[in-house]
Amino acid sequence: MKQMLVGVAVVLCVVSTAWAQQGATEAEIRRAVPYSTMLRTMPTLTIEQYNQAVRELARTPRPPAPTPRPVYLGTLSANPYLPDSTSNLYGIYGSPYSPKSTTNPVGEYGSRYSPKSPTNPYATTTPKVYGQDGTYLGKLSTNPYAPDSISNPYGRYGSPYSPSSVNNPYGIYGSPFSPLSPNNPYAVKPPIIIGRDK
C-alpha cells in the first residue's frame, strides 16, 4: 500500500505542473492531474489512494528556488590597459566577442535584447556597479527612468551632482582625476561590475 502511494506521488510530481509552483494546494494538483488521468496510468488505483497521495504531495515541502549567483563582469573603466577593464578590447571583459563582455552585441550582457544587458533600455536585471571601497553605485543601465540607473540624470546614481554618481565630475566616483573613477583613464581601482547568472 505504501509503495503504491509513493508510486502515485512520484507520477503526480512528474506530471503535475502545479508541483513546480511554490505552495501548490491539493486543488491545484487535482486540476493539473485528475484522477481519470492517473487511472489510465495505474488501472488498479482507487479514489482513496489517489486522494491520500494528493494530500501527501501537497504537504511535502517544496525545494527552494535557486538563488542567482553573482558574476564578475570586469571593471567599469576608461583605462584600456587594465586587464579586466571594459575598455580593453583584447581583454575578456572588453572584447566585443567575449561572452562576459558588456560590449558584445550578441552576448548575454551586451545584447540590446537581453534582460541582463545595460544596452537594453527596458532590461530589469542589469549588472550592478560597486566602488572598490564597497560603495554601491547603481545599475549599469541605459534606462533613464529606472531609479537606480547610472543613466538617470535625476537619480542618486546618475545625477551629475550626486556624491554616489559616476557622472559627477567633482565626486570621487566620477572625477577624471580620482583613482576610484571609471572616467580616469589612469585609474587602477575603478568600479567593478557584478551581473547575475539567472
In total, the chain counts a number of residues equal to 198
Over the stretch 3-32, which tens digit does the pLDDT of each residue have?
555 455 555 554 444 444 445 678 887 887
3-state secondary structure of 179: coil
Q: What is the 3-state secondary structure (H, E, C) of 1-66?
A: CHHHHHHHHHHHHHHCCHHHCCCCCHHHHHHHCCHHHHHHHCCCCCHHHHHHHHHHHHHCCCCCCC
Distance, CA of 134 to CA of 140 (rounded, Å): 16
The pLDDT, as a whole number, for residue 97 is: 95
Strand order in the sheet with 192-196: 70-75, 192-196, 128-130, 136-139
Please state the pTM of the whole predicted model. Answer: 0.67
The pLDDT, as a whole number, for residue 31 is: 83
Over the stretch 61-120, which tens digit does the pLDDT of each residue have?
766 767 778 999 999 999 999 999 999 999 999 999 999 999 999 999 999 999 999 999
Distance, CA of 176 to CA of 123 (rounded, Å): 29
Cβ atoms of 123 and 116 closer than 8 Å: yes
The pLDDT, as a whole number, for residue 120 is: 92
Contacts for 1 with CB less than 8 Å, ≥ 6 apart: 49
The amino acid at 118: P
Whether the predicted pLDDT of 53 surpasses 90: no
Over the stretch 125-163, which tens digit does the pLDDT of each residue have?
999 999 999 999 999 999 999 999 999 999 999 999 999
**Grid cell digits, residue 135:** 560603495
**Quick one: average pLDDT of 25-41?**
80
Closest CA to 4 of 36, 29, 38, 33: 38
| Long-range CB contacts (within 8 A, 24+) of 115-121 | 116/195, 116/196, 118/142
Whether the predicted pLDDT of 52 surpasses 90: no
How many alpha carbons fall within 13 Å on the CB side of residue 7?
12
The pLDDT, as a whole number, for residue 26 is: 82
Distance, CA of 38 to CA of 184 (rounded, Å): 66
The pLDDT, as a whole number, for residue 67 is: 73
**Grid cell digits, residue 153:** 540624470
